[in-house]
Amino acid sequence: MVDLSARFEGFLNAPPGARFAIVSSRFNELVVERLAAGARDGLIRHGVVAAQITEIIVPGARELTPVLARLAKSGKFDAILALGAVIRGGTPHFDYVAGEISRACGSISEQTGVPVIFGVLTTDTIEQAIERAGTKAGNKGYDAAVAAVEMVNLLQRLTSAGL
């Protein structure tokens, strides 16, 4: 019988052999490449071997979705990071793209059981995006990597506990 009163949380060290994918959009490359560099750094600093990281680049943020779904369904990855930058402009394009990607990440995770970490910046200005990609506001790619490591660790602990 499982003790349901137990407290579970993930550790910040990657389990041995865990595999990660980083899927980045090329659009807003100035910002997104900084996010990807932060994600790689975050994974490696938390125990992931570089050979266990697969990186895929898609044209734009909207194109993240089919690749995320394919990778999650492949069974080859323990977590997937979705990285991009959607910057508000003078059209409603921002609202459609940002919301769709966010929903897709959650849906793919629910359907496959593979954590798909939403590391897509949604900002009003390019300056805000740059701040979140490694300047004043830290690096959200790094933050996504840490969340991915923690989720892989937590899911393994839950599985070991029979949950």
Compute the residue count for the chain. 163
Among residues 70, 76, 93, 103, the one annotated as catalytic is: 93
Q: Catalytic site residue 46? A: no
Compute the distance between CA of residue 94 and CA of residue 109 in angstroms, rounded to an integer. 23
Q: How far is CA 104 from CA 63, 69, 157, in A?
A: 11, 8, 26
Q: How far is CA 11 from CA 14, 45, 46, 130, in A?
A: 8, 13, 10, 29
- Annotated catalytic sites, by residue? 93
